[in-house]
Amino acid sequence: MGIAAQHIYKRFGDFVALDDVNLDVRSGELTALLGPSGGGKSTLLRIIGGLEDADSGSVIIDGVEATGVPAQRRNVGFVFQHYAAFKHLSVYRNVSFGLEIRKRSKAEIRNRVHELLELVHLDQFADRLPSQLSGGQRQRMALARALAVEPKVLLLDEPFGALDAKVRKELRDWLRRLHDEVHVTTVFVTHDQEEALEVSDSLVVINHGRIEQVGSPNELYDHPVNDFVMGFLGPVTELNGQLVRPHDIEVLSTDLTGSVQAKVHRLVRIGFEVRAELDAGDSQPWVQLTRGQADALELETGSVVWLRPSRDASTLVPQAGPPGAAAVNRTTVGP
């Protein structure tokens, strides 16, 4: 059940957008497709939604072969980055559009639309036009519109990409709670790793048309399979020939086993965190500390300290080959 995309291949002219991609999305989960722009994640989503045809490969939605089925008959909810609001229709009529197409009774439509508008907190705006709503409200309307037809899966293409940071954060929390209420299989595309880590049950990292890694957010953060995934999911620095997260480096005032001597080159305080840029001979790592830690160590520019990866740190030896060479391509999403 859920979604299965098998051996998807898609090119635009000479550009290979998707190169033999296999993806399984488990029913009822909230899955994020994460990657840099141009990596193929939106194309994959559009192929699942039937808005784009793959050159080869198949899509199975809820156990039913969907390859070649046009979008209008896939029963898939799609939410676009720029809302795709029907500008000449009221919020109510936007949401009821799919139900009217399905020729539901007036009473049924009214109940369903009001129920959905309540769910997205827009009930009092039912008679407004989309142009009279804020960006966040428009996107919630678009979400209600997509949910109205009770889709088998909900697909969101950079749904918060056009919103400002504060609204984006609010909507992100809200989407998570909404999903916990509605439980529809959901796939959303994002290039924001924080968004993906915070919201999703499982995460699919896509780059250069290939899936780099699939797993739970923690799995991917703690055990990235390659430099690309490690670098894309969070900050990375190099210590003693290893890649390590800057908050996973222990700063010691004495030389202990496995530590490397380093000299503080620069200290930057950003709110609650202190960033120390150091010079460790053959590498120039930076370390992320809390203010308390920095104070306890009496760090200042020029101090000599010893560095080593903390015990549970995830480290990676940088690969010589092209990024993504070790990509796992056939993986099931989820733990």
Partner 1 sequence: MSQAVAERPVRRPPRPGRPADQFRMSPLSSAGLGVAVLWLSILVLLPLAAVVAKGTGSGWAGFANAFTDSRAYDAIKLTVLASLGVSIANAVMGTVIAWVLVRDSFPGKRILEIVIDLPFALPTIVAGLVLLTLYGPNSAVAPDWQGTRPGIIVALLFVTLPFVVRTVEPVLLSLETDVEEAAASLGAGPFTTFRRIVLPAITPAVLSGSALAFGRAMGEYGSVVLISGQLEHKTEVASLYIYKQIQDDALPEAAATATVLLIISLLVMAAMGAGQYWSARRA
User: Among 53, 64, 68, 121, which residue interacts with partner 1 (rule: CB under 8 A)?
Assistant: 121
Print the binding letters for residues 160-179 with partner 1: x by CB under 8 A, - otherwise: -------x--xx-xx--x--
Compute the Cα dihedral for 63, 199, 118, 48 and give only its sign: negative
Contact call for residues 294 and 274 (beta carbons, < 8 A)? yes
Q: Please, which residue, 139 or 259, has the CB nearer to partner 1?
A: 139
Strands 3-12 and 15-25, bridge-based pairing: antiparallel
Asked if 183 touches partner 1 (CB under 8 A), the answer is no
Contact call for residues 96 and 148 (beta carbons, < 8 A)? yes
Minimum distance from residue 136 beta carbon to partner 1 (Å): 5
Asked if 37 touches partner 1 (CB under 8 A), the answer is no
Minimum distance from residue 88 beta carbon to partner 1 (Å): 4
Minimum distance from residue 98 beta carbon to partner 1 (Å): 4
Q: Which of 122, 57, 52 is nearest to 92 (CA)?
A: 122
Minimum distance from residue 38 beta carbon to partner 1 (Å): 18
Q: Where are the beta strands (DSSP E) in the chain?
A: 3-12, 15-25, 30-34, 56-61, 64-65, 76-79, 153-157, 185-190, 202-207, 210-215, 237-239, 242-244, 249-252, 260-270, 273-279, 286-290, 304-309, 315-316
Q: Please, which residue, 78 or 92, has the CB nearer to partner 1?
A: 78
User: Among 9, 97, 286, 306, which residue interacts with partner 1 (rule: CB under 8 A)?
Assistant: 97
User: Among 45, 146, 262, 307, which residue interacts with partner 1 (rule: CB under 8 A)?
Assistant: 146
Tokens linked to 296: 């306890």
Q: Which stretch binds partner 1 (CB under 8 A): 1-9, 13-21, 143-151, 198-206?
A: 143-151
Residues 86, 145: Cα–Cα separation, whole Å: 10
Q: Which of residues 6-25 bind partner 1 (CB under 8 A)?
A: none
C-alpha triplet 110, 48, 33: angle, nearest 5°: 100
Tokens linked to 74: 């896939």
Q: Mention every residue, 6+ apart, whose C-beta is less than 8 A from residue 323.
A: 207, 226, 227, 228
Reading phi first (left if > 0) and then psi (alpha if -120 to 50, else beta), residue 258 is in: left
Q: Please, which residue, 121 or 223, has the CB nearer to partner 1?
A: 121
Q: Which of residues 45-74 bind partner 1 (CB under 8 A)?
A: 49-51, 70-74
User: Among 137, 190, 193, 200, which residue interacts with partner 1 (rule: CB under 8 A)?
Assistant: 137
- Site residue total, partner 1 (CB under 8 A): 43
Q: Which stretch binds partner 1 (CB under 8 A): 94-102, 104-112, 211-219, 314-322?
A: 94-102
Residues 173, 180: Cα–Cα separation, whole Å: 11
Q: Return residues touching partner 1 (CB under 8 A).
A: 49-51, 70-78, 80, 82, 84-88, 97-98, 101-102, 121, 125, 129, 132-134, 136-137, 140, 142, 145-146, 148-149, 167, 170-171, 173-174, 177
